Amino acid sequence: MPTGWLRRHSHRGTVRAFATMAAAAILAMLTTGLLTPARASADGETYTIATDTTFAPFEFQDKQGNFVGIDMDLIRAIAEDQKFTVDIKPLGFDAALQAVQANQVDGVIAGMSITDKRKQVFDFSEPYFESGIQMAVLKTNNDVKSYEDLRGKRVAVKNGTQGATFANSIKDKYGFEVVSFADSSSMFDEVKTGNSVAVFEDYPVLLYGIAQGNGFKTVTPKEEPTGYGFAVDKGRNADLLKKFNAGLDNLKKSGRYDKIINSYLGEGAAKDDNSFLGLIKSTYPILLEGLKMTVILTVISITIALVLGVIFGLFRVSRSIVLRGIGTTFVDIFRGTPLLVQAFFIYFGIPSALGFQMSALTAGIITLSLNAGAYMTEIVRGGIQSVDKGQMEAARSLGIGYLPTMRKVILPQAIRTMIPSYINQFVITLKDTSILSVIGIAELTQTGRIIIAGNFQSFKMWLIIGIIYFIVIMALTKLSDRVEKRIVK
């Protein structure tokens, strides 16, 4: 037997190592509870409540990483008054509404205006806050003072809000264009870049941002005020709704309600140090938590993806037309649909259709694993096909079966070819974790968005986050290069 074959034969341990890594990752998920639903037991004492992530002063994150704001303080005070506990899930406004409808959470409190259209889908509490829409522009803008001045220009709104509804209702009359964003901070940044000239937003949000120095000013009076309500899915959780109303009434009678409101909308709190170094100092604990979640998602997902890639990669080069068809279908589905759609389908669609709950972390890992697994499948297929066909023929002529040949001869050689592509996919998966913010996972990018919602320092914060990503990716790339050299040697 050729000595070259024996050297390649010795690399079979690499395959076993990868399989061991995958098994360990899956076992860790099971033992740490990552595969268990995030919601509490159904004894009625604990409720999972969805909320927005970037809607100061109603919900935002403080320096310690806690979610605070009018909504957060109210729901916790009501829970205390009514003797139940809450598990807060910051998902973002759109995702929060979908989570309620999918029965992933029990209710939502997110500065949500009570409208007739929403009443068809949700059951609302009594209004807990009276708001109203206002238009705001940059402080330096002296040209736009009324709706008439918007003709031929663009305005920014936030998806699904009363501000968006109002702007769209008058855009034809005043001749302006409306552009929509997923969160308030992006909406404000749109105007700061000069692409739009104004925002339509609830007046408390505007006042809070102006007090924090976001550079805007209001130029119109409040429109017809609308009430904010706590909401549950239509026909569900009536007891929770009753408790909310009872608790809200008690808070108002005791004066605690006014104290909560005034703590955010009264005299502005002292401004933070928003210099570059000051932001690093005040936000690094929260950013490190986000980075930790990014790394956890990446490592577990890419390990599972490797296992899936080997399995379906072997299917793709199998002599069986059925197995080849399965492998091709897997690749076509998960490479042919956007990762964002996959995340929504796995977290909202499947649990809603089958009637069970799934934690956002579980859904995120499944989404990344399947998506990266499809790309790993093609990497494995390409690696296997790069091995000279004579290797298979030589092994078979020695009486070695097809599967043992694939495992002991072909795959060890193919892995050496696949390593650069695998490293590249590792980096891509790490960056793809940012998309999972849509289902409420506070990885590094989402953490940055949440911080910006409170301090409005978008340029400096995105620069800090970009530097963190660069350092981590460069470190992982250098480490992977060293591992590659040791394996190929």
pLDDT of residue 254: 95
Integer CA distances (angstroms), 189 to 121, 178, 304, 360, in order: 32, 15, 38, 28
Integer CA distances (angstroms), 425 to 305, 310, 430, 486, in order: 10, 14, 9, 20
Q: Which domain holds residue 213?
A: 133-224
Say whether both 411 and 314 belong to one domain. Answer: yes
In degrees and rounded to multiples of 5, residue 177 shows phi and psi of -105, 140
Say whether both 257 and 280 belong to one domain. Answer: no
Length of the chain: 489
- The answer to whether residue 37 is domain-embedded is no
Task: Summarize pLDDT for 416-462 with one digit per residue, the tens.
Answer: 778 778 888 888 899 899 888 878 788 888 888 777 766 667 788 88
Domain count, the chain: 3
Q: What residues pair up with 90 in beta bridges, in sequence order? A: 51
- The answer to whether residue 38 is domain-embedded is no
Say whether both 245 and 283 belong to one domain. Answer: no
- The answer to whether residue 207 is domain-embedded is yes
- CATH number of the domain within which 238 lies: 3.40.190.10
Say whether both 26 and 100 belong to one domain. Answer: no
Q: Which stretches in the chain have pLDDT values below 50?
A: 1-43, 268-270
Q: What six digits make up the tokens of 415?
A: 């892995």
Decide if 71 contacts 58 (C-beta within 8 A): yes
Say whether both 337 and 395 belong to one domain. Answer: yes
Dump the DSSP string for 355-413: T----HHHHHHHHHHHHHHHHHHHHHHHHHHHS-HHHHHHHHHTT--HHHHIIIIIHHH
Say whether both 235 and 97 belong to one domain. Answer: yes
State the Cα angle at 301 between 299 and 307, rounded to 5°.
105
Q: What six digits make up the tokens of 17?
A: 């190592």
- The answer to whether residue 313 is domain-embedded is yes
pTM of the model: 0.62
Say whether both 319 and 250 belong to one domain. Answer: no
Say whether both 409 and 307 belong to one domain. Answer: yes
Decide if 333 contacts 377 (C-beta within 8 A): no
Decide if 131 contacts 55 (C-beta within 8 A): no
- The answer to whether residue 317 is domain-embedded is yes
Say whether both 438 and 318 belong to one domain. Answer: yes
Say whether both 121 and 173 belong to one domain. Answer: no
pLDDT of residue 271: 53
Say whether both 184 and 165 belong to one domain. Answer: yes
Say whether both 335 and 404 belong to one domain. Answer: yes
- The answer to whether residue 41 is domain-embedded is no
